[in-house]
Structures are given as C-alpha cells and as structure tokens.
Chains A and B, each alone.
Chain A
Amino acid sequence: MTSGKTPANSGFSRRFLLRQAVATGAGLGALSVGGPAGLPLIMPAFADDQPPIGTWPAGSQGDTVYIGAATPRTGPYAVQGEDELKGWQLAVEHINSGDPLLQKIAPKVSKGLLGKKVALLVADSGAKPNDAVQEQQTFINQNKIILMTGSTSSAVAVALNKFAQREKILYTTGISGSNDTTGKDCVRYGFRQNFYGETAANAIGPVLLKAFGKNRKAAWMTPDYTYGHTVTQSSSDYLIKNGGWTKVTDQVSPLGTQDFSQYLTNIANSGAEILLNVNWGRDAVLSIQQAKQFGILPKMKLVIPYQIPFLAKEVGPDLTEGVYAATDFWWTLEDKYPLAKAFVEAFYKKYNYRPEWGANNSYMSFAIWARMVSEAGTFYPPTVIKTYEKGETFPSTVGDVHFRPEDHQLVRPVIIVRGKAPKAMKNSEDYWEVTEVQPGAPLMQKPDAFGCNLGDYV
C-alpha cells in the first residue's frame, strides 16, 4: 500500500484498496498485507454499531444483490458442478418469486430478499482452489457480491472458507465432504449444509458391518486431497475399531487420474474382499469401470462411502447393483418428506431430470441463507451469522434440521442407499433404494474434536 497519502474523506474505498493491493503485483498475497495496513484509515470514519465490513453496505445498496458461484463446469467434477449450478439457479428463482416451497423453509421471504432482487454470477472453477479464489475476488471487485458459494472439491471449500473469513463475506459451501471444512479449517463466515466424512462413516459403518460381518479385509481408493484423506480416515477408523476390519491397502491417486490400472493391480494383489472407493466425480466412474475390466468387480464388494451424483447413470446399474452408499439426498425421499416432493417436482419441471444430491444441497444452502437473512432483517454479515448461530430448528427436504453454532455444520440426517438391480428399476432414474435415514446428531463428532476455531465476526 502506498503510504503518505492519507485520504481526506472516506472516498478511499474498499475497491480502491483492493485495486491498489493487486497493483502492487503480489496478487492475493498482497491483500492480507494491504488490508490491515489500510483498514485504520477507514474505520474511524464510521462510528455506528454496524461499521462497513466486507462488501457491506455497498453490496446491498442497489436494487439487486449478487451471489458469486465458483463451480466446476470443466474437469473431473464438471458433471456434478453443472447439477449443483441448477440447484442454485432454482433457489434464486424461488427467492425472487417467493415460491411456496422456499417460503416453507424461509417464511419471511416474499418476492426477493429484504426488497432486493437476487442475482447469481457464475464462473468455472475447474475444481481448482486458486481459480475459485480469483473468480470470487473478481466478483467482489466488480459486483460487490454479498454471498459466495461453490466447491465440489473440499480443497476449494477450504480455500474459499479462508478467503471468506479474510474478506468478511459469507460463504456457503457447495458439495464438500472433508471433515476439515467444518473441522480444523472451519471459519466464522463459512457454513455447510451437507454431510461429510465423519457422519458418512458413522452412518454407513453399522450397515456395512451388518451386511458383510466383522473381520473383513478391505481396500481403499483415495483421491489425494483433504476430502479423500478425511473420508478414508473416518471410514477406516470406524470399521477397524468397531468391526475388526483390516485395511490391506490404500491406493492414493491424484485428482483427475484417468488410467487406474496401476492402482487396481495393487488392489487385485492385496487379498481384499471389499473395495471402498472414495474417488469422486469422473475419477470414481473411471476407477469403477476399470475395476470391472480387471475382474476386481464383482469379485470384491464395492462400497461408496461418499455418494457421487450421477454415478449409477455413468457406470450403469449393473455395476451399482447391491452397492451401499452414504448420501445427502435421493429423489425417492419424496415419498417420505413433503418438501422433498415439492423440490423434486419443481426441479424436474424446470430441468427435465430428477435432481441429484448436489443440486439439493445447493438449493437448500441458498434457501437456508435466505431464511437467515430474512430472519435477521439485514444483510449485515455479523448479524446474519448470529442468526445462523441461534441454532433454531427449521424444516428442510430431509425433515427438521438446525445449525450447530460451534462449527457451522448443519445437523441433518445421512441417507443410506443401496443400488437397485436393473430389472427392479421403476423408471430410468430409479437407481437407488433408500434403506435408512439416520438422524444426524449421533453421527457427529464433538464440535471441537477436529480442531474447529471459528475466528472473529469483524
């Protein structure tokens, strides 16, 4: 930051600060240096109890408020990213129209949010953390977004968590399965709707022990980043501790691997009876198809500890028949929950296919955010955060849920599904049968068990 030029008034805007910081050439790294140095210059100009913070109040002064979404539309998670995007788009449409479904979750929303239209800005992150952060930075600079979303890779979620905390802009994760997102990398400004490694493991663990028995030999396939490592850790901990299972091998592959022959050869020679595949997106599709080529499937039993949207559609129901998976949502829950039915119908009407859990997560994340903002009666981020932290119970597409104030994780059920045989499918999307809906609270670790420290409001 250039020194010696003290602004005469508060015209020394945040945008100017950002531009200057970027102009120093050190990119994002410079922001953290530029920020604190610049802040004292502005802060004294505002003495009321809601001083400017992040993009507030500039971001909510017009007739439209903007949300920035960084979602993968290319790369290994493109299929899931596109589905997520549709969930956000539907939610934004419902917020702006005051749809009855959305009003069940957020009763105080009526045609827009606090009298403003909501608009969604979208960028392709390719599931790369650096790209996602740069895109959100652009949205902040150009559109003064008041909410960020998107991930579909916990590496992105963790990066955006930190960015959100630094920029003091709310962030709701997209799909993010790592324990770290609301664990050691949790932040005051970040919130997660969906299930994660630990709850997935504690939900599917007992089911696996019942189905396959104790003392089994299992192989893991793990994508090499925070999501993969924590899901493998949680699931293997459960099965080893409670079922006496042995982890005979853990094949760690980089995100975006296409040829899994080397890993599968190791698994074929490991003596495993059960294969827990933690790979995700296209990596999961390819590793499962290639496991079939190598004869590993159906010889070993396949388990998906963390469900992948569209998996059954991509690999075919022959390969997912009898496979257990832990998930966040499956459309047949419409038989159990009226809100799920309304959501599936609205989504189907707009997009002509039944939503996967990523789209449901997106929709719910925004609906919940709209609820919190409308309950708070302001876009002022600390007040919105405190409304989340009240931990009030509200309805969702999977029954009543609430946020845990200590780590900003939604307490919500985990759904266990089992792949249907092709001939048992009642329609072309009837791939999975819901076998259990497990209440969320008993599945969760203690709020501080994974080292969560939320940080400051301002």
Chain B
Amino acid sequence: MISWANFISQCFNGLVLGALLALISSGLTIIYGTLGVLNLAHGAMFMLGGYAGWLTFTYTDSFIAAVFAGSLFVMVVGVVMERVVIRYFYTRPHEDQLLVTFGLGIVFVETIRLFFGSLSKSVPPPAPLVGITPLGFMFYPTYRLALLGIVAAALLALYVVLYRTRIGMIVRAGVEDSVMVDSLGIDVYKVFMLVFGIGAMAAGFAGIVNAPVVSIAPDVGEGILVQTFVVVVIGGVGSFPGAVLGGLIAGEIISLTSMFNPGYAYVMLFVAMTLVLVVRPYGLLGTAGRE
C-alpha cells in the first residue's frame, strides 16, 4: 500500500492543499496582524468568491472572468463590511469582534442558501486544463497541477504588494505597531480598509480557483476556516511568510497521515499545532508582542 508512487502522490496532494491553505490563511493573518480583528467570516468570504465566480461563469462561460469577478466581488464585500461594521469594533473587546464576524459569516452563508439552495454547484476548469497529466510515476489531475501554479502566482503577487510597495510597507508597519503608524501622520484607517479588502480578496480568489476541485455549496467555507486558523497559529499570527509555511506544513501533515490512516489526519494536524505552541508560543515565524 505504501509505495514510492503513493508517497510522491500524497506529497503532491499535500502541496496543492497546502498552497490553497497558505493563500486563505495569508488573508486572515494580515487582517488580524494589522487590524487586530479575528475575522470569523473569512470562511464565508471564501464561499462568496466561489458563488460570485460561479454566477459569472454561468453567464459568460469564461473561467478567467469568473476568477476576476469572484475576487473583486469579495474585495468589495470586504471593504463594505469594514466601513459599515468592522471599524466600529476596533476599540471593542475581542469577544465582540468574534461575535460580530461570526454573525456576519452566518448571514452571508444563509443568504446564499436562500437564493441558491444547498445543492452543490460546479465550475468546470478551463478547457486546456481538463483531464489528467501523466507525471511518469503517477497520473495527476491537470487542473490541480495548474492550481499549484495559480496559487503560487497569487502568493507571489501578495508578497510583492506587501514587501515591494509603499502601501505594503505601511501595512507591515501597521502589523508591528499601528499606533506608531498613526502618529506618523498616516491615515491608518484608510489602510485598515484596504487591508481588509485585500485579505478578503485572497479568500475570494481561493474560493473561485478551488471551485473546479471542490464544488461549491453554502457550507464550503466552514471546514476551511478551522484549518486556516490552525495554519495561522502554526505559522505565527500576523506573519505572511508564516502563513505560507504553515499552510504547506498543514497540507503535508494531512496528506501524509492519510496515507497511513486517514482517521488520524486531523488529529496529527492538531498535535503539530500543539507542539508548535509548546516550543514556539508565537508560532514558527511569529514574534512576541504582535496583536
């Protein structure tokens, strides 16, 4: 059963899953790192991206249009959510922030259910990416291979924005000390709005590019949210590289454990998280004092 080919295949599965988790988690972690708000509606953002993309696809038959529509729609939702609700919660206790984002998540999910029902909706991959690709030692779904590239490109884009632009510099400064950024004369609230939009967009983008792999349904974000939190904790809260590293580690743990006993896949994930917390309480790439 545990052959060389199977091992490599599982490593691949872990890589694809891990890349996806990395992307979603990076959105969550920059929002938390900058704004101090733990966005429990992040899973719903992932779901909304899928639905907006699917709806666009049914009208345009274009996967590219679906990806753009899914990402932009969720970014707009994120910005509106920040302006209308979240900004009133920056100074309130964490429990209030958790409750309000949790509640918003439920509202998003049930609104979608009201309009589209619970039946799964599928978005086919673009024509050139349909089918399976022989990799010598195994066959692998072509779109999943492409997904690896797509997600890697998105992470790279996020990296460039965060580390190679002025706005990224402000965001990173905000993660370290938002009060100081504010007192330097930068309108930190405008930055907050932008960060919330970008973080949400990362989830929305992941939601639509993942739709050809996992058909969408109103609850699609729920399971992802839990895994994403684990990734953020493993990688270190507020750390973008941490989210990427944590995502890949989580993906590999889930996949490789499944090879031996699928029943333990998630147990091992939580064991890993516990070990990280014992050895490095702020996560692998986190730093003390970030909040």
The residues of A with any CB-CB pair to B shorter than 8 Å are 73-76, 78-79, 82, 224, 249, 251-254, 256-259, 261-263, 265-266, 268-270, 282, 285-286, 289-290, 293-295, 310, 313-314
How far is it, in angstroms, between the C-alpha of A282 and the C-alpha of B117 when the chains are bound? 13
- The reply to whether A262 and B1 contact each other, CB–CB distance below 8 Å, is no
Q: How far is the CA of A114 from the CA of B185 in the complex (A)?
A: 77
Q: Are B120 and A285 in contact (CB under 8 A)?
A: yes
Q: Which positions 75-104 of chain B face chain A at CB distance < 8 Å?
A: none
The verdict on B177 contacting chain A, using a C-beta distance below 8 Å, is no
A254 and B119 contacting across the interface, CB-CB below 8 Å: no
Query: A285's closest neighbor in chain B, by CB?
Result: B120
Interface string of B111-149 (1 = CB under 8 A from A): 001000111101000000001100000111101100000
Contact A282 B120 (CB under 8 A): yes
Determine which of B5, B214, B222 lies in contact with A269 in the assembled complex, contact meaning CB atoms within 8 Å: B5
CA–CA, A76 and B258, complex, Å: 21
Docked pose: A286 CA to B259 CA in angstroms: 19
Given contacts A259-B17, A262-B13, A266-B259, contact A79 B6 (CB under 8 A): no
Interface members, chain B 1-53 (any A CB < 8 Å): 1, 3, 5-6, 9-10, 13, 16-17
Interface check B217, CB cutoff 8 A: yes
In the bound complex, residues from chain A placing their C-beta under 8 Å from that of B143 are 293
Interface membership of B223, Cβ < 8 A: yes
Contact (Cβ within 8 A) B119 A251: no
Is B151 among interface residues, defined by CB-CB distance under 8 A? no
- Cβ contacts under 8 Å, A75 to chain B: 219, 222
Contact B120 A314 (CB under 8 A): yes
- Interface of chain B, main secondary structure: helix
The answer, yes or no, to whether B287 is at the interface (CB within 8 Å) is no
Known contacts A249-B1, A282-B217, A286-B214; A263/B120 CB under 8 A: no
Residues 196-227 of B at the A interface (beta carbon under 8 Å): 213-215, 217-220, 222-224
| Also in contact, A261 and B217, with CB within 8 A (given A249-B1, A256-B223) | no
Q: Does B244 contact A (CB under 8 A)?
A: no
Q: Chain B nearest CB: distance from A218 CB in Å?
A: 15
Known: A261-B255, A310-B119. A289 touches B215 (CB 8 A): yes
| Among B9, B213, B262, contact of A252 (Cβ-Cβ < 8 Å) | B262
> With A and B bound together, what is the CA distance between A74 and B112 in angstroms?
12
Residues of B near A314 (CB, < 8 A) are 119-120, 215
Out of A253, A256, A310, which one reaches B262, CB within 8 Å?
A253
Give the distance to chain A from B101, nearest Cβ to Cβ, in Å. Answer: 18
Please name all residues of chain A whose beta carbon is closer than 8 Å to the beta carbon of B120 when the two chains form the complex. 79, 282, 285-286, 314
Which residue on chain A has the smallest CB distance to residue B263? A252
- Residue from B10, B118, B122, B220 within 8 A of A289 (CB atoms): B122
Query: In which size bucket is the chain B interface?
Result: 35 or more
Whether B158 sits at the interface, judged by CB under 8 Å, is no
- Tell whether A259 pairs with B213 under 8 Å between CB atoms, given A251-B262, A265-B6, A265-B9: yes
Distance, CA A295 to CA B143, complexed state (A): 12
Chain B residues whose CB sits within 8 angstroms of the CB of A258 once the complex forms: 214, 220, 223-224
The CA-CA distance from A385 to B209 in the complex, in Å, is 54
In the complex, chain A residues whose CB is within 8 Å of the CB of B3: 269
Q: What's the nearest-Cβ distance from chain A to residue B264, in Å?
A: 10
Cβ distance B261 to chain A, nearest Cβ, rounded Å: 8
Q: Which residues of B contact A269 (CB under 8 A)?
A: 1, 3, 5-6, 9, 138
Q: Name the contact of A79 in the complex, choosing from B118, B132, B141, B213 (C-beta under 8 A).
A: B118
Say whether A262 contacts B262, CB under 8 Å: yes
Nearest chain A CB to B160's CB is how many angstroms away?
28
In the complex, the answer to whether B214 meets A259 with C-beta atoms within 8 Å is: yes
Residues of chain A within 8 A of B13, CB atoms compared: 261-262, 265
Chain A residues in 8 Å Cβ range of B171 = none
Q: B249 an interface residue at 8 Å Cβ cutoff? A: no
Which residues of the other chain, A, contact B117 by a CB distance below 8 angstroms?
Answer: 79, 82
Can you name the residue of chain A whose Cβ is closest to the Cβ of B140?
Answer: A294
- Shortest Cβ distance from A222 into B: residue: B262
Q: How far is the CB of B142 from chain A (nearest CB, A)?
A: 9
Q: How far is the CA of A270 from the CA of B9 in the complex (A)?
A: 13
What are the nearest 6 A-B pairs in CB distance?
A: A262-B258, A78-B118, A293-B141, A261-B13, A295-B132, A265-B9
| CA distance in complex: A272, B263 (Å) | 21
Smallest CB gap from B17: residue in A: A259
Inter-chain contacts of B109 with A (CB < 8 A)? 74
- Please report the C-alpha to C-alpha distance between residue A295 and residue B259 in the assembled complex, in whole angstroms: 19
Contacts of A76 in B (CB 8 A): 219
Q: Considering only CB atoms, which chain A residue lies closest to B265 in the complex?
A: A262
Complex: how many Å from CA A266 to CA B261?
Answer: 11
Alpha-carbon separation in the docked complex, A74 to B110 (Å)? 9
Bound form: Cα–Cα A9–B126 in Å? 75
User: Is the beta-carbon distance between A286 and B215 smaller than 8 angstroms?
Assistant: yes
Per the bound structure, the CA–CA distance linking A259 and B224 in Å amounts to 10
Contact, CB under 8 Å: B119 / A224: no
Chain A residues near B17: list those with CB within 8 A.
259, 261
Residues of B within 8 A of A290 (CB): 213-214
CB distance from B65 to the nearest CB of A (A): 22
B254 close to chain A: CB less than 8 A: yes
Cβ of A294: which chain B residues have Cβ within 8 Å of it?
Answer: 132, 139-141
Whether B258 lies near A74 (C-beta < 8 A) is: no
Contact B219 A266 (CB under 8 A): no
20 contacts between A and B (CB under 8 A): A74-B113, A75-B219, A75-B222, A78-B217, A252-B262, A253-B262, A258-B224, A261-B16, A262-B255, A262-B262, A263-B262, A270-B1, A285-B120, A285-B215, A293-B143, A294-B141, A295-B132, A295-B139, A295-B141, A314-B120
- The residue in chain A whose Cβ has the minimal distance to the Cβ of B141 is A293
Residue in contact with A266 in the complex, picked from B6, B122, B139, B223, CB distance below 8 Å: B6
**Which residues on B sit within 8 Å (CB–CB) of A282?**
120, 217, 219
Give every chain A residue within 8 A of B266 (Cβ-Cβ).
254
User: B259 to A262, Cβ gap below 8 A?
Assistant: yes
A265 to B137, CA, bound (A): 12
User: CB < 8 Å: which of B10, B118, B141, B220 contacts A262?
Assistant: B10
Separation of A294 and B6 alpha carbons in the complex (Å): 13
A residues within 8 A CB of B6? 265-266, 269
Q: Known contacts A79-B118, A285-B120: does B219 contact A261 (CB below 8 Å)? A: no
The docked-state distance in angstroms from the alpha carbon of A258 to that of B220 is: 8
